[in-house]
Amino acid sequence: MSTTVESIAAEQMVTADGIPLKVSLARARRRARNRALLLVAPLFLFIFVTFFIPIFSMLFRSVENELVGETLHRTVPLLQNWDESGDAIPGEEVFAALVQDFAEAQETKTAGRPGRRLNYEKPGFSSLFRKTARKAEKLEPPYKEAMIKISKDWGDIEYWRVLKRESGKYTKAYYLSALDFSYDPEGNIVKNPGEESIYIKLFWRTLWMSMLITVLCLVLAYPISYLLSTLPARSSNLLLILVLLPFWTSLLVRTSAWIAILQQEGVINDFLVFLGFLTDDGRLAMIHNQVGTIVAMVHVLLPFMVLPLYSVMKTIPPSYLRAARSLGANPFTAFVRVYMPNTVAGIGAGGILVFIIAIGYYITPALVGGQSGTLISNLIAYHLEASLNWGLAAALGAILLGGVLVLYLLYDKVVGIDNMKLG
Amino acid sequence: MTDANNAVVRFVDVQKSYDGESLVVKKFNLDMQKGEFLTMLGPSGSGKTTCLMMLAGFEPATHGEIYLNDKPINNVPPHKRGIGMVFQNYALFPHMTVAENLAFPLQVRKKSKSEVEERVKGALDMVQLGEFGSRRPAQLSGGQQQRVAVARALVFDPDVVLMDEPLGALDKNLREQMQYEIKHIHENLGVTVLYVTHDQSEALTMSNRIAVFDDGVVQQLAAPAVLYEEPENAFVANFIGENNVIGGKITRIDGQSCQVDVGESREVQALAVNIGAVGEATTLSLRPERVTLNPGDDCPNIFEGKVEELIYLGDHIRTRMKVCGHDAFIVKIPNSSTHAQLREGATVKVGWTMEDCRALDALH
């Protein structure tokens, strides 16, 4: 009898009241987990509604293209049978469907928007659509001739090719133009000529300027952080307040201050002229160009580098350096081989933080960047606010996001995210 | 220097002040012989670590000169002194493996790769960590980290190794084990060790000589047995081991011995060690294990004691008594088959010889 009890016990542990131990344990854990989930649920919901949904809907706009197919719902299916690689424009039945679609769009006043959409691909579509929609109701067959009479663009095969290409539910046109590609008249994807490729150039500029800003921040922040971490608590707290002081001042004020300092009639130029280093007409251009952007952004982002570095350095015991010295290393070797490797976590955290903020920075380059100092984010803002080409803005944003993620993964591979220490 | 005493380390009239107002080290003189294990023992803030840091080169001496192998080293930077050091929290470099930690002092000395490998291996074997070379310090236990720290301080054959409370972070059993290990390493290598601790049993276990520090001054520098048996002043007597302290006034000095009035017109015969003139105050120091119960009639000091408290400690019974008006008088009764059976509240005769009762300077 006792042997059977033992063998059962060996197979399955049970609690005092006979419930299997595993079941009982799972039940106890589930309760704790549910309670934890309940606590984070409001935050999760908030972030989901205010962050994830807007971002995904915005990113979706970079490929979304339902407008044309919706408005021209009779024409588009018929266009699929048309061979765009030939020389002939579509036949009478397509024109007939198009007239009906336009007549309907005129009633619901929806002809303008697909026109504007197609105008991004080929200028002229917008006015063509408006003109045609106004007259569509009164047209009589044969529609083909009647339409071409309204505008001879309808006889131009290039318009038809664009219309067919951009009639699907999704489009890659935004991404192509975000990467400086476009379609030639035959519908092949070609690289834009040099003077028209602005986006790639801006991506590269954003990338190298962000990297430069990150490196400059690191160079400036490292000694400050070291000082902060070695000073006695009283003076280091005071210094830390000075480091954080810029956070309490409006970003606009700080950036405008840089304009006052760096401009041609500004403090630095006046001083250099006064000292005789510059002639009055040889004043340096330090604002509304790349120099201005870099100087102002390094200033704005410096605390983001100081804080992680400081928090890591504070945890490094001074005995490490002493041990290295006592083991025979001169001060420089001790610093490079013992101290610096221990600050990698802070360098990584500060670097990633500054770089990611810099790569998407908008206000400072907009104010002091001028022509040569604007970054990709300024162009995204332009397409959101001025040109209203949200699809292109979304595509640029998505590429930027993708690039940051790639760099992040690269960092994880090389340094390891676990090593990072924020604050 | 033309000094013939061959000291490896010499402190000559060293003083140290941090704030220019008070001296942390008042007047420190020390000669360390080659191969010696010397411990600086004292309460925290007594200046012992400061002396160590001055020798290592991390603190400049405010006054006086320190010699290493008869060369003054006050102006030699730490990395050129060739002194190994074991730090309180080991200060192992966390980004390097154990082997890389050990190789570091050899690499900065530009030793050849093969020599580095050989020496690292030798050092790891010495501390029985041969298998752990590729581990990170964080993956080792406290005792293992301690051994690595010792091995790292020794791997480049320094003249002197300094140890700054190296066992402070370990638990009691491990600490005792490491004390023996360090002692054996010292004996096997014949290296000169200057050790700092506030733990007297550690100092007694390991040292050839102990310098007892207090208030920036060396109170006594002697071998462990001498410190315990023949303390020269009341601080040392109290700091090393357990001690019964009885204050009194000198009534007669008679060559080696003296007579002390301990109050209520009771007179104690004591050994005159460190006393002033007749009439001055003195402190009598008496080890609890030197007190006999029911002594014979030839004992010079016999008094009545009232048992206040009995604490059973296994190997001995700690007995608190009221003797000569002092109710914190401790007697250690060895737990032998013939030991006296005492009850709390009982009165018993206690006695001690003149030699075991040392008359020292008055406690402040």
Cβ within 8 Å, pair A317-B91: yes
- Which residues of chain A make contact with B160, given a CB cutoff of 8 A? none
Evaluate whether residue B4 is within a structural domain: no
Per CATH, the architecture of A199-419 is what? Orthogonal Bundle (1.10)
- For testing the chain A interface, which of B52, B81, B108 should be mutated: the one with the most A CBs within 10 Å? B108
List, for residues A326-353, the tens digit of each pLDDT value.
999 999 999 999 999 999 889 988 998 9
Residues of chain A under the 50 pLDDT cut: 1-3
ipTM field:
0.82
Out of A320, A330, A344, the one facing B91 most closely (by C-beta) is: A320
- Give residue A15's pLDDT: 76
* HEC assignment per residue over chain A: CHHHHHHHHHHCCECCCCCEHHHHHHHHHHHHHHHHHHHHHHHHHHHHHHHHHHHHHHHHCCCECHHHHHHCCCHHHHHCCCCCCCCCCCCHHHHHHHHHHHHHHHHHCCCHHHHHHHHCCCCCHHHHHHHHHHHHHHCCCCHHHHHHHHCHHHHCHHHHHHHHHCCCCECCHHHHHHCCEEECCCCCEEECCHHHCCHHHHHHHHHHHHHHHHHHHHHHHHHHHHHHHHCCHHHHHHHHHHHHHHHHCCHHHHHHHHHHHHCCCCHHHHHHHHHCCCCHHHCCCCCCCHHHHHHHHHHHHHHHHHHHHHHHHHCCCHHHHHHHHHCCCCHHHHHHHHHHHHCHHHHHHHHHHHHHHHHCCCHHHHHHCCCCCCCHHHHHHHHHHCCCCHHHHHHHHHHHHHHHHHHHHHHHHHCCHHHCCCC
Determine the residue type at B18: Y
Domain that holds residue B133: 9-234
If one counts the domains in chain B, the total is 2
Out of A319, A327, A342, the one facing B105 most closely (by C-beta) is: A327
Measured in whole angstroms, the distance separating CA B123 from the mean position of its chain's CA atoms is: 27
- Give residue A419's pLDDT: 65
- For testing the chain B interface, which of A320, A321, A325, A326 should be mutated: the one with the most B CBs within 10 Å? A326
Cα distance between residue B1 and residue B8, in whole Å: 12
Minimum distance, in Å, between the CA of residue B57 and any CA atom of chain A: 8
Placement of tokens 């192992």 in the chain? B92
Cα distance between residue B228 and residue B220, in whole Å: 11
CATH number assigned to the domain comprising residue B266? 2.40.50.140
- Which residues of chain B make contact with A324, given a CB cutoff of 8 A? 93, 104
Evaluate whether residue B2 is within a structural domain: no
Evaluate whether residue B71 is within a structural domain: yes
Query: Where are the domains positioned within chain A?
Result: 2-60, 66-171, 199-419
- Give residue B364's pLDDT: 61
Q: Of the residues B234, B266, B286, which one is the last residue of a structural domain?
A: B234
Is residue B217 domain-shared with residue B296, that is, in the same domain? no
Out of B81, B82, B85, the one facing A323 most closely (by C-beta) is: B85
Evaluate whether residue B128 is within a structural domain: yes
Out of B81, B84, B95, the one facing A341 most closely (by C-beta) is: B95
Query: Residue B334 CB: number of other CB atoms within 10 A?
Result: 10
Out of B56, B93, B109, the one facing A326 most closely (by C-beta) is: B56
Cβ within 8 Å, pair A328-B87: no
Q: Which is it for strands B281-286 and B267-272: parallel, antiparallel or unpaired? A: unpaired
Minimum distance, in Å, between the CA of residue A302 and any CA atom of chain B: 27
- Give residue A1's pLDDT: 44
Using CA coordinates, name the residue in chain B closest to A323.
B91
- Which residues of chain B make contact with A331, given a CB cutoff of 8 A? 77, 79
Is residue B139 domain-shared with residue B184, that is, in the same domain? yes
φ/ψ of residue A340, rounded to 5: -60, -45
- Give residue B4's pLDDT: 47
List, for residues B111-169, the tens digit of each pLDDT value.
999 999 999 999 999 888 888 999 999 999 988 999 999 999 999 999 899 999 988 88
Is residue B44 domain-shared with residue B179, that is, in the same domain? yes
Selection from B294, B283, B364 nearest residue B326 by Cα: B283
Is residue B200 domain-shared with residue B58, that is, in the same domain? yes
- Give residue A11's pLDDT: 60
Give the three-state DSSP class for B327: strand
A418 touches B at CB < 8 Å: no
pLDDT tens string, chain B, 364 residues long: the values are 444 467 899 999 999 999 888 899 998 999 999 999 999 999 888 889 899 999 999 999 999 999 999 899 999 999 999 999 999 888 999 999 999 999 999 999 999 999 999 999 999 998 888 889 999 999 999 889 999 999 999 999 998 999 999 888 888 888 888 899 999 999 999 899 999 998 888 999 899 999 999 988 899 999 999 999 899 889 999 888 888 988 888 888 888 889 888 877 788 888 988 888 888 889 999 999 899 888 888 888 888 889 999 898 888 889 999 988 888 899 998 887 777 678 888 888 899 998 899 999 887 6
Minimum distance, in Å, between the CA of residue B88 and any CA atom of chain A: 9
Q: Of the residues B234, B262, B296, which one is the last residue of a structural domain?
A: B234
Q: Of the residues B218, B234, B250, which one is the last residue of a structural domain?
A: B234
Cα distance between residue A26 and residue A378, in whole Å: 53
Is residue B90 domain-shared with residue B17, that is, in the same domain? yes
DSSP code for B138 = G
Query: Residue A277 CB: number of other CB atoms within 10 A?
Result: 11
Is residue B258 domain-shared with residue B221, that is, in the same domain? no
Cα distance between residue A191 and residue A196, in whole Å: 9
Cα distance between residue A358 and residue A375, in whole Å: 9
Cα distance between residue A399 and residue A405, in whole Å: 10
Is residue B318 domain-shared with residue B203, that is, in the same domain? no
Evaluate whether residue B34 is within a structural domain: yes
Out of B83, B94, B95, the one facing A326 most closely (by C-beta) is: B83
Cα distance between residue B294 and residue B342, in whole Å: 12
Is residue B138 domain-shared with residue B283, that is, in the same domain? no
- Give residue B2's pLDDT: 43
- Give residue B91's pLDDT: 92
- Which residues of chain A make contact with B87, given a CB cutoff of 8 A? 319, 322-323
Give the number of residues written for chain B. Answer: 364
- Which residues of chain A make contact with B95, given a CB cutoff of 8 A? 341-342, 344
CATH number assigned to the domain comprising residue B84? 3.40.50.300
- Which residues of chain A make contact with B89, given a CB cutoff of 8 A? 317, 319
Minimum distance, in Å, between the CA of residue B48 and any CA atom of chain A: 17
- Give residue A8's pLDDT: 53
Is residue B264 domain-shared with residue B342, that is, in the same domain? yes
Cα distance between residue B192 and residue B186, in whole Å: 8
